[in-house]
Chain A
Amino acid sequence: MTTFATHTGLLTLRSLRTLSRQPAYLLFTLVQPMVWLLLFGQLFSKVAELPGFGVDSYLEYLTPGVIVMTAMMSAGWSGTTFIDDAERGVLDRNLTSPLSRGSLITGSLVHQGIVTVIQSLIVFGVGLLAGARYSGGVTGILAVLACTVLLAVVFAALSDALALLTRQQEALIGVSQFLTLPLAFLSSVMMAPALLPGWVAEVARFNPVDWAAVASREALTADPDWGVVAWRAGLLLALALLMGWLATRAFRTYQRAS
C-alpha cells in the first residue's frame, strides 16, 4: 500500500511538473468557461426573471454550473497522456517497471483532481469579480470543490479507459463532441430544474453532471439542505470508484492486444 501511494505520488508530480512547464494549457481550458460565464451569463441574465426560476441573479445560478461543466470537459481529455505515452515508449516502459496498473490510473486521476481544484477556484474568482456572491461561504465552496473533483474523476477515468482501449485521440474527441456538451444541456446547469421540459428533467435525474450541479448550487445557498448534497455526492463517489476500476481493467485489453 505504501508503494502504491509512493508510485501514485511520483506519477502525479510528473504530470504536475509537465503542466507547470506548459501553463498555457491550463489557460486554454479556461477560455470556454469564461465565454459561458461572462457572455452567456450576460446574454441570458433576464432568464432569472422567469416566473418560477427561483433565483435573483442568473450569474450566481450559472457559476457553479460552469465550474462543474469545466471540470467535466477538461477531464474528458485526461486520456491524452496515455495516448502520448503509448505512442512514445513511455507506457511500455512503465508497464515493465514495478509501477502497478492501479497507480498509473490513480496518478492520472489525482493529477486531474488537482487541476480541477485550480480551475474551479479561478472560475469562482472570476464569478466573484463579475458580481456573483456565494452565500454558502467557505464550507459551501469546499463542498462544491469536492463534488466537482468527483465528477472530474468520473470523466477522467472514462477518458483514460477509452484511451487505453482504442489508443486513438479521435475517441477522446468523440467524448468531447458527443458526450460532454449534450450532458451539460440535459441537466440543470443552465436552466432551473422547475423550468426544464419534463423529459429533460427525467433524463437529468440519471445524469452525473446534474448530480454535481444540483449539489453544488445547494451547497452555495445560505442554508443548504446537506441531505441533498450528500446523496448526490455519494452517487458521484460510487460512480467515480466504478469508473476508476474499469479504467484499471482496461490495461488488460491493452496488454492482450499488444
Chain B
Amino acid sequence: MPTARSATAIEAVNLGKTYGRGGKAVRALDGVSFAVPTGVVFGLLGPNGAGKSTTVRILSTLSRPDSGTASVAGVDVRREPARVRRAIGYVSQKPAFDPMATGRENLVLSGRVYGLSRHDARERARGLLTRFGLGDAADRLAGTWSGGMQRKLDVAMGLVHRPRVLFLDEPTTGLDPEARADLWAEIDRLAAGDGLTVLLTTHYLEEADRLAARLVIVDAGSVVAEGSPEQLKNELRGDSVQVELAGGDADGAGHRARHAVGAVPGVADVTVEGGVLRARVGNGAAALPGVLAALDAAGVEPAAITMARPSLDDVYLRHAGRAFREADRAEGVLV
C-alpha cells in the first residue's frame, strides 16, 4: 500500500466498453479519460445512458473495460481488484442494504466484512447512525424505513471501513426534494471532513453544480467537457435566452424563428428543439428588444421568454449539441 497520498485519487485513461456482439452491440464507453484530484467531490454528469454507471462499475471493479486503463487510490483496477476493493466504498443506484435486517445489523455486518472486530464494528455502526441521524430507527428493520433514510443507510454502509474513495452512483434519484437537500448536506460534509474523494454520478445538472468542485460532462460514451462548474459556465459568453414558441414548431415556425433571431446583432448559438428556441446573447437586457422585434417580423409569437445567467444546462447544450433534458428523455428508456 502506498502510504503517501498522491494528488490523484482516480485516473481513467481511454476506457472503452461494448456490451453485446454483432448487430446488437452497444458501445457504452468510447474512450473516456479523466483524472480526479484527491479530497474533492468530483461530478460525472450526463443524461441517462451516457456511460456514467458503466464508468463507475469499471472503477469499482464490478466490470472490466475492453480497452484502456484505470487506477483508484494508486492501484490498477484490472491488475489488483482486491486491493482496490479495500480502498473504496461503493453506493449503487439501487438500494443495497438487507431489508430483513435492522439498520444497525446492516452496518455491523458491513464492518465485519471489512475485517473490523465485533466490538469495533458495533462502535463504528453507532457512530455512523448518530452522524446520519438514524439513531432512533437503528433497531427497526431497514425495509420499513423511509426512502431518504434508506439512502442515508446505503451511504453510511459505504463509509464503514473509512474508504479513501467513495463512489456515489445517482445518490438522490427518486428522493423527494427535502430528502435530497438533506443528503446534499451530508455529501458536502464528506469531502470537507477527512480528505475523502467522492466520485458522484448524476443526471441532475443542479446537483453537479451544487456539490462538485470539478466535473466532467459525459455524452454518448465520451467526455465532452471538463472543469469546475464556474470555469465551464464562464467559458460561455453572456446570458442565455430561452423563448417558448406559442405555436410550437408548427408551419416551420421554429425554422423561421431561428433565422430571424440568428440575424440579430450580438446573438449567437441559436438552436430550436421541441418548440423552444435557445440562444446566447452578450447582454440580455440590451438584446431583448431586438430579439422580440425579429420574432414579430418573422410572424412567430412567443409564449414565454426566460433570461438567465449561464447554467450547466447551457454548458451541456454547447458541448453536446443538444438540450440536456431532451437527451435525458431520449435515452431515459434504459432506466
Contact = CB atoms under 8 A, between A and B. Distances in A.
Residue among A6, A7, A87, A93 with max Cβ neighbours from chain B (10 Å): A93
A227 interface: no
Contact of A89 (B63, B88, B92, B109): B92
A248 to B, nearest CB: 15
Interface of A: 3, 6-7, 10, 14, 17-18, 21-22, 87-90, 92-99, 255-258
Residue among A10, A95, A256 with max Cβ neighbours from chain B (10 Å): A95
Contact of B57 (A3, A17, A22, A258): A258
A7 B82 CA distance: 15
A22 B143 CA distance: 14
Contact of B113 (A21, A97, A256): A97
B192 interface: no
Nearest to B84: A96
Given A10-B112, A98-B113, A88 B90 contact: no
Contacts of B19: 257
Contacts, number: 71
A94 B113 CA distance: 9
Nearest to A19: B100
A87 B86 contact: no
B157 to A, nearest CB: 7
B101 interface: yes
B61 to A, nearest CB: 6
Given A18-B98, A18-B101, A255-B63, A93 B90 contact: yes
B88 A21 contact: no
B62 interface: yes
A7 B98 CA distance: 16
Residue among A18, A96, A258 with max Cβ neighbours from chain B (10 Å): A96
A104 to B, nearest CB: 11
Interface residues of B, number: 33
A258 B62 contact: yes
Nearest to B94: A89
14 contacts: A3-B115, A10-B113, A14-B98, A14-B109, A17-B101, A17-B105, A18-B98, A18-B100, A18-B101, A89-B93, A92-B62, A98-B82, A255-B64, A258-B62
Contacts of B114: 97-98
A18 B102 CA distance: 11
Contacts of B100: 17-18, 21-22
A129 to B, nearest CB: 33
A89 B86 contact: no
